[in-house]
Structure 1
């Protein structure tokens, strides 16, 4: 899917809503092992009640991609260091209907992807700083949860978990112990 494609309610409605819902449910199930389609499926699943012909054409493109690349998926190598690292990023107000932002993160254990999430935020943010800070907080909670899981598996982390993000403003707020408005 072209990442610049804007999907919304203002296009021609698609006639077979039940078939579209079935197709999106099937694609959501596939995202368990096919991370490469997560972005597209997340965008397509925003409108299960009123899909448009544009939504349908994009979902057909996703199916064509899956047919062309059937073996793409997650890979867990045998020889890999057990260092946990995370990445966090956001997209500020990409939804043309609700103007809500999307937060996302992914965590790697060595070179293997072990956790990821992309979620539309519940509230509308007034600035990109707000969005970045919320995404950073969400990723921090996930990092803590993964460290607890690893400790339960008797594989405690020896070092702190590096979390990479691209907002200097969010970094300043996160490291300032006094100002937390």
Structure 2
């Protein structure tokens, strides 16, 4: 790939990966090694997190299209080898997180993918993208489960700060772009269509009542310019 042309994006937007996508690729071990190295790069390159998560799903059903998608990521990395995570010294000690979910994004299983990223001031300190274990019945279910996972991660980091005797300037804030999930999390009464979400929403509501965090819609976010650039790079890949 040393002579390959650099790419401007992490993946081809016109190509959607799924199982049995064309001619099988014979060198499976080369693909596994490549995906393993891309997973290692996720420690500092959050912009390829979503692409790597998708590529790692086809380790045992490999096709030429999957291998080409992996080399597409290499072309992108060649265009920006110096990009990474910047941790400024003047960041304020305030914790804020973002929750996002893609409803039914998997073409093969119809499972949804959820993501989260947490900032300490302007410094990104935690991020994750994962496919949910079950097939959701509604977009509200996907968003609520993603919100529950982000809440647990925010709680763990808050406990870590407390153990290290680091005091944040403000109450941690968790942002969500789904109005239905915000309404369900704030509603103490679960009706017939939302009873299966009671446990997840109860965790979110409990942490809000205990003063661990605040739950706000996405349009009330702070540090708009910095957060918009970083979260778009993470969630959209």
After TM superposition, the score normalised by the length of structure 1 is 0.95
Which residue number in structure 1 is paired with residue 151 of structure 2? 140
2:96 pairs with 1:96: no
Equivalent residue in structure 1 for 2:172, among 153, 161, 167: 161
Equivalent residue in structure 1 for 2:82, among 49, 71, 75: 71
Which residue number in structure 2 is paired with residue 177 of structure 1? 188
User: What secondary structure, in the 3-state scheme, does the structure 2 residue paired with 1:123 have?
Assistant: coil
Contact 1:87 1:107 in 2 (8 A): yes
Contact 1:147 1:156 in 2 (8 A): no
Which residue number in structure 2 is paired with residue 10 of structure 1? 20
After TM superposition, the score normalised by the length of structure 2 is 0.74
User: What secondary structure, in the 3-state scheme, does the structure 1 residue paired with 2:165 have?
Assistant: coil
Name stretches of at least 5 consecutive residues in structure 2 with no aligned partner.
1-10, 196-237
- C-alpha distance in 2 between matches for 1:28 and 1:3: 21
Root mean square deviation, CA, Å: 1.3
Q: Name the structure with the higher helix share.
A: 2
User: What secondary structure, in the 3-state scheme, does the structure 1 residue paired with 2:57 have?
Assistant: coil
Pick which of 151-160 and 58-67 moved more. 151-160
Return closer, same or farther for 1:17/1:32 CA change in 2, 3 Å cut-off. Answer: same
Deviation at 1:3, TM superposition (A): 4.9
Equivalent positions of 1:104-123 (< 5 A) are 104-123=115-134
Contact 2:93 2:169 in 1 (8 A): no
Return closer, same or farther for 1:5/1:150 CA change in 2, 3 Å cut-off. Answer: farther
Number of residue pairs the alignment of both structures matches: 181
Name stretches of at least 5 consecutive residues in structure 1 with no aligned partner.
none
User: What secondary structure, in the 3-state scheme, does the structure 2 residue paired with 1:45 have?
Assistant: helix
- C-alpha distance in 2 between matches for 1:160 and 1:140: 13
